[in-house]
Amino acid sequence: MSGVGRSVLSMSTDVTAAAAPPEVSEVRQPSLSPSRASDFMTCPLLYRFRVIDRLPEKPSPAATRGTVVHAVLERLFDLPAADRVPERAHALLAPEWERLLEAEPELAGLFGDDQGRDEWLTSAEALLDSYFELEDPTLLEPAERELFVECDLESGLRLRGYVDRLDEAPGGALRVVDYKTGRAPREGFEAKAMFQMRFYALVLWRLRGEVPRLLQLLYLGSGEVLRYEPDEADLRATERKVLAVWDAIARATERGDWRPSPSKLCDWCDHQALCPAFGGTPPELPVLPVPAVPQARAADERPSPHTPVDEV
């Protein structure tokens, strides 16, 4: 099995983010995304709150910043190669914020005044500057950006999600790239961080018949890059893990047994008031249609540009 490589740029900015994908057709067969699989592995009750109860979660300046930075990095590659410089990226920030605000007017309440908003935009510029220290976009021509991928396993389970960027070498070798606006995980926690990327690699392998050459996570909050070179054995192991997670979700659904799994990540959870680990009581379980395995909404398929697990 190949190892994970790491390179570092010193940065202190730390953010969180979540983005909403374009609409996709309703999925009626069992389906799983890397973000929802990670939710269940982190805490089955969190999975229940997000997928079954569909409880709202409040936006934050940090999460919204991640969404805007992602949009800027996507649009950056619409520019001619020579124009992909920090100044042009900075100039895209305000328009992307206005575009998001038009779609979600409630985000206007994130800032107490114009100064707070301006400081927030400045912090987003710092993340973009970090990106330019990690890559030179004038030398890149991505094959795909914000690519929705899905495949059906022999078991009938559909895997789906969004790839931030897919690069293809002249010989056809694939590099899967994901932007994270938080900080890279500590030494020893890289494998857990790479689960999402192995998930994408598995889907691309099943779709194209070729194992991606390189998986790359760009952590803009700490100026670090995690790289991983998968092989077939690795992706087969990933498939077994994904199927085991789905089996566990199915058993939890059948039994109505959604136990909390307290950890440091609870500090970032919006649902502590309803969690038995904090003295709360979950809402009554809704009645699920047959088949009784819950289906994630299309909007749940995109992972956050940053998750609290990046911090522990």
Res 125 pLDDT > 90: yes
Helices (H), 1-59: 34-42, 44-47
Given this model, what pLDDT does residue 42 score?
Answer: 95
Res 181: pLDDT:
95
Distances in Å between the Cα of 263 and the Cα atoms of 174, 183, 260 are 36, 19, 9
pLDDT at position 17: 33
**146 torsion bin: left (phi>0), alpha (psi -120 to 50), beta (else):** left
Q: Point out the least confidently predicted range of 76-90, 173-187, 227-241, 292-306.
A: 292-306
In angstroms, the CA 312 to CA 198 distance is 20
Q: What pLDDT score was predicted for residue 28?
A: 57
pLDDT classification of 18: cutoffs 50, 70, 90: very low
Mean pLDDT along residues 131-137: 98
The beta strand positions in the chain, using DSSP E, are 4-8, 31-32, 144-152, 158-168, 174-180, 214-219, 224-228
User: Quick one: what percent of the chain has pLDDT higher than 90?
Assistant: 76
5 falls in which pLDDT band (50, 70, 90)?
low
Mean model confidence pLDDT for the chain: 86
Q: What is the tens place of the pLDDT at every residue in 281-297?
A: 999 998 765 444 555 44
- Cα separation, 289 vs 6, in Å, equals 45
Would the pLDDT of 171 be above 50?
A: yes
276 cis-preceded (ω within 30 degrees of 0): no
What global pTM score does this model have? 0.84
For residue 3, name the pLDDT band (cuts at 50, 70, 90).
low
Write down the pLDDT at residue 186: 84
pLDDT digits (tens, 9 = 90+) for 199-213: 999 999 999 999 999
Q: Is 196 exposed, middle or buried (0-12, 13-18, 19+ CB in 10 A)?
A: buried
Residue with more model confidence, 19 or 79: 79
Model pLDDT, residue 193:
84
| pLDDT at res. 288 | 62
pLDDT above 50: residue 20? no
- Percent of the chain exceeding pLDDT 70 equals 83
| Predicted local distance difference test score (pLDDT) of residue 12 | 32
User: What number is the average pLDDT over the span 72-89?
Assistant: 98
The yes-or-no verdict on residue 61 having pLDDT over 50 is: yes
Which range, 130-144, 273-287, 293-307, has the best average confidence (pLDDT)?
Answer: 130-144
Does position 11 have pLDDT exceeding 80, yes or no? no
Beta bridge partners of 7: 225
Q: Burial level of 101, CB count in 10 A (0-12/13-18/19+)?
A: middle
Q: Assess whether pLDDT exceeds 80 at residue 22.
A: no
